[in-house]
Amino acid sequence: MDKETLLARVAEIQWCHTIDLGNGVVTPGLSKTKHLATDELPPIEGRSVLDIGAWDGLNAFRAEQMGASRVVALDHYAWGVDMAERNRYWDECNAQGVVPDYRLDETRFWHPELPGMRGFELAKEALGSTVEAKVGDFMKIDPAEVGTFDVVLFLGVLYHLREPLAALERVRALCNGVAVIETSSIHIPGFESEGLIRFYSADELDGDYGNYFGISAPALAGLARAAGFNSTKVVAGPPQLRKSRRPQPPHVYRLLMHAFV
Ligand SMILES: C[S@@+](CC[C@H](N)C(=O)[O-])C[C@H]1O[C@@H](n2cnc3c(N)ncnc32)[C@H](O)[C@@H]1O
């Protein structure tokens, strides 16, 4: 594909991820999530990788470029839900002071032709990638149908799920090595060693009604063990709060943990 054609096709899509497609073309991703540093990832070369909640596929393509033997990108909501339509409904709910009905994602806002997958497909084509796509709700899909992987990427998904322990049990069922779990966490000075889970009943976290939980590092480690992982390691953890700063807990921060089988 020549550069002009690629640029025109990129411009037709609303991107979540900023992906370097080569030839000077970079997708204009809306996500503000920090890209994973190489030392935040376990060894990838020669290993099979499953990216749960892959969206445009940034991390799946990255795993492929790092030499993974096989990469599967799995997603559901971002590929099938008309986000613009849903956001208008959320704005209406906000104006009326009511909490949106999440079930409409899979009825009123659901498009079986998967319009949200266009970014992933175009990036895959432009990169000449062999990453495999798997469409499905991670919480409903039969794990036996997906198989097991050496590395499972579970990045920015846990806080969206209504059943965190059941979700981690599913991650465990798909993992025969290490799961890389990135989620939104909470830090309450004086309660650092407590396993706390904060529930967001509306759109308090980033204005998103689909964000439900802030999970402290000890709570995530405990959930991972309860789900059947043998050990965990915090790779990016609580912020170093300035001593002089007046505590205004809870502080929200990005937590990255490796959970080992
Ligand atoms: C905040 S985005 C994170 C995207 C990407 N993993 C990243 O870190 O940039 C959450 C992703 O999880 C997906 N997701 C949420 N719930 C899911 C489920 N039950 N099954 C499959 N994918 C899901 C969404 O569709 C979306 O692509």
Q: Is 75 in the pocket of ligand 1 (CB under 6 A)?
A: yes
Q: How confident is the model at residue 186, as a pLDDT?
A: 92
Three-state SS for 119?
helix
Virtual torsion, Cα 116, 35, 196, 104, nearest 10 deg:
-10
Q: Which of 81, 95, 100, 74 is nearest to 210 (CA)?
A: 100
Write the residue with the smallest CA distance to atom 2 of ligand 1: 156
Which residue matches tokens 């060894």? Answer: 43
Per-residue confidence (pLDDT) for residue 35, from 0 to 100:
83
Q: Residue 196: what pLDDT?
A: 95
For atom 13 of ligand 1, the residue with the nearest CA is: 53
CA distance 50 to 54: 9
Q: Is 138 in the pocket of ligand 1 (CB under 6 A)?
A: yes
Task: Give yes or no for residue 152 CB within 6 A of ligand 1.
Answer: no
Distance from Cα 21 to the centre of ligand 1, integer Å = 21
Domains and CATH numbers, the chain: 35-81+116-260 (3.40.50.150)
- Ligand 1 center–CA 163 separation, angstroms: 15
Q: What residue's CA is closest to ligand 1, atom 11?
A: 53
Q: What share of the chain is helix, strand, coil (3-state, %, to 5)?
A: 30, 25, 45
Expressed in angstroms and rounded, the spacing between residue 140 Cα and the centre of ligand 1 is 14
Pairing between strand 251-260 and 175-187? antiparallel
Task: Give the pLDDT means over successive 10-residue stretches in the chain (261 positions).
Answer: 95 96 95 87 98 98 98 97 92 93 94 96 98 96 94 97 97 98 91 94 90 96 98 88 62 93 97
pTM for this model (two decimals): 0.95
Query: What is the number of alpha carbons within 13 Å of residue 10 lying toward its C-beta?
Result: 25
Strands, E assignment, 36-99: 48-52, 70-75
Gap between the Cα atoms of 84 and 166, Å rounded: 29
Position 33 scores a pLDDT of 79
What pLDDT, on the 0 to 100 scale, is given for residue 242?
63
